[in-house]
Chain A
Amino acid sequence: MTKTPRLLFTLVAGMLAAGTATAQDVIRIGAPLPMTGPLSPEAVKQQRGYDLWAELANKAGGVKVGGKRMKVEIVYVDYQSNTPRAVQAAEKLITQDKVNFLFSPFGSGAAKAASSVSEKYQVPTIAATASSAQVYDQGYKYLFGTFTPNDTLTEPLSDMVRKQAAGVQRVAILARNDLFPLAIAQEMEKSAKKRGMNVVYFEKYAIGTLDHASALSQIKSQAPHWIFATGYTNDLILMRKQMGDLKIEAHVVTMIAAPAYQEWIDGTGKLAENVTSAAWWHPAVRYKGKDVFGTTENYVKLYQAKYKAIPDYAEASASAAGAIFQLAIEKAGTIDRQMVRDAIASLNEMTFWGPVKFGPTGQINSLEPPVFQIQKGKPLVLHPQAIRQGALQLGIK
């Protein structure tokens, strides 16, 4: 009996002793990420993006702050895909780990919940994956976001389909009942109706759904010209496979947001062909940035060298969030939170991510999100015109 408490005691003591390091000439940025739980695949992407930026900034000697250079360090905390824990993690990073700045937790819901903490401590915070306008309209001064609102995705998409596929009249929408997937599906419904299209099917499916056959059979019986589906990578791999299983055909199939991810293309194989999507960034965009990465080409090259893969918008957005902090700190010449906050708010700079300028609410308003289509296993840009790589292919089997 005495053995056991001692064992536990040793365990606990060991845990207490582990970790507790602070350094002076380092800029610390806190990053609460969903490293475990259902969102964990997204955390992998965010971390890759942040790490790439921190590594590059440090390789150059650090971030220029006034006359000297300071190294950057990213402090990660796992919030277990649980929003209350994300808020707790943000507060821990600020009060316990003494970070200078913060990256938001993943997605609109958690970013919104955690923003009250950054506001309370007046810590400049950049959200790399929050697109819903409701995140930013709380009147907060310290929250900034790298995604434009959801309608900037559905509008150009609908325009293009309207112009290049006049026969598209009947639209079916199937959305995951979750903050972002549902919000963008509702934007899509508006965009379609605005252009006189007929939304013949709009349903939601529950989180954790293991079978879409019924919903898809019903969609098939409506014979839509355009099928628009939202969800996370696993949902959309399964759904695309089941569409194939049921021999569903349509002029256009759009899925958001998974087709931008290589995992989705790998996970669907030939079925990925001709699926369209839109995102806030694409490796084919061409910008000549003033940030640490410089051109988009250079960013893609650096990313490929480190991870042996093509970056997607989620990874690039995380890197961009880091690069934006760097631009703002160098512009402010200090790591004083108030000054850096003002520097971010007044930023008007070209980056590898695109032109960066934040609106009055803190959400970026200078991006033109590309529309793309998977052709021969590669996502090709269809819009904007300037970086077009291919023409819209109609027909999905």
Chain B
Amino acid sequence: MLTFQILANGLVLGGLYACIASGFSLVWGVLNVINILHGSFIVLGGYLAFYAHAELGVHPFLSILIAAPLFYAAGYALQGALINRMIAAPVLLTLSLTFGLDLMLQNGMLLAFTADFRKLILDPPLGVLALGPVVIPVDRLAAMLLALALTGLLYLLLSRSRIGRAVVAVRMDREAAALMGVSVKRINAVTFGLGAMMAGASGPLLATIYPISPLAGTVYLGKAFVICVLGGLGSVPGAMVGGIALGIVESFGALWFGPEHATTLSFLLLIVVLLVRPTGLLGRKGYE
């Protein structure tokens, strides 16, 4: 019976992980930029939901509608103003750039929100769903479903819309896309905007579950790295598979080897996957 409960825990956790990683994976895959800011964007989205809920009574799930366009615009602007200047530079340089920007953002949040932990509490709580002896918290389930829906929307956007196909084209072959008349600069900015949007939108979802503090982003960033590699870089379905795989591995790892080894196990898995199958679990190279 414990096994089913752990499986349920892992699946729900995995849905949240997928949401954390999808935008990060997109930016990395398409732009070749490791965006260290991603974790802090999630936290900032969380603060937005927290204050909208505390001051105006806005439900956190509704805050996503506010967060998404705001973060898209901010990401678009940031890419256009700063990151585009370095887009052709080696990956370590863009990484240093976003690392520096992240230090600034974290410091700003520390000044604006103080270091105290905040927690968004839904009142009344959403309760739990009992399937026999297995219990699943409804808020997590809803967050997971929303997360998967968001990730799915991103996938549709990329595969069906004109601009989305241009993003995919740029990922596959930058030069060829430029020759075909795609404005690579604009697509870069759109991609970064989409990545920021996904981060900003997952903030409110996570705010119902995790305490928020200015530095909480570091842990999310660490998870995003692992998930991207597990699923394959730059692939939205990959992020979903990677996230769920990580959720399940961590949950069963904690059961079998003790909770202190759950993370270690996921990191070991990551190294093994890299060595055996560097393109990720899905093993597809192109962006779909």
Contacts and interface: CB of A to CB of B under 8 A. Distances in A.
Main secondary structure of the interface of A (DSSP, over half): helix
A208 B135 CA distance: 25
B213 A268 contact: no
Interface in B244-286: 250-255, 258-264
B122 to A, nearest CB: 9
Interface string A195-239: 000000001111011111111011001000000000001100110
Contact of B2 (A38, A208, A221, A234): A221
Contacts of A209: 259, 262-263
B219 A211 contact: no
A238 B123 contact: no
Please tell me the size bucket of the interface on A: 35 or more
Contact of B119 (A44, A215, A237): A237
Interface string A27-70: 00000000111101101100000000000000000000000000
Interface string B92-136: 000000000000001100100011111101010100101000010
B260 A263 contact: no
B210 A238 contact: yes
Contacts, number: 120
Nearest to A217: B5
Given A174-B259, A206-B259, A237-B211, A213 B135 contact: no
B110 A213 contact: no
Interface in B202-232: 209-211, 213-216, 218-219, 222-223
Nearest to A44: B115
Given A210-B210, A221-B2, A234 B117 contact: yes
A246 interface: yes
Contacts of B264: 206
B117 A41 contact: yes
B107 A206 contact: no
B152 interface: no
B5 to A, nearest CB: 5
Given A211-B250, A246-B135, A43 B2 contact: no
A32 B255 CA distance: 40
A237 B208 CA distance: 12
Contacts of B115: 35, 40-41, 43-44
A214 B117 contact: no
Contacts of A211: 9, 13, 250-251, 254, 262
A215 B252 CA distance: 10
A168 B251 CA distance: 29
28 contacts: A36-B110, A40-B115, A177-B260, A203-B258, A204-B258, A205-B260, A206-B262, A209-B259, A210-B210, A210-B223, A211-B13, A211-B250, A212-B259, A213-B9, A214-B250, A214-B255, A215-B259, A217-B2, A217-B255, A221-B2, A234-B211, A237-B211, A238-B210, A245-B135, A246-B137, A247-B130, A267-B121, A269-B123
Interface of B: 1-2, 5-6, 9, 13, 106-107, 110, 114-119, 121, 123, 125, 128, 130, 135, 137, 140, 209-211, 213-216, 218-219, 222-223, 250-255, 258-264
Interface of A: 35-38, 40-41, 43-44, 174, 177, 203-206, 208-215, 217-218, 221, 233-234, 237-238, 241, 244-247, 263, 266-270
Given A205-B260, A214-B259, A214-B262, 9 more contacts: A36-B107, A41-B213, A211-B254, A217-B5, A221-B2, A234-B210, A245-B137, A246-B135, A270-B125
Pairs of residues from A and B, 9 with the lowest C-beta to C-beta distance, nearest first:
A267-B119, A214-B254, A40-B115, A245-B137, A213-B9, A215-B259, A205-B259, A269-B121, A234-B211
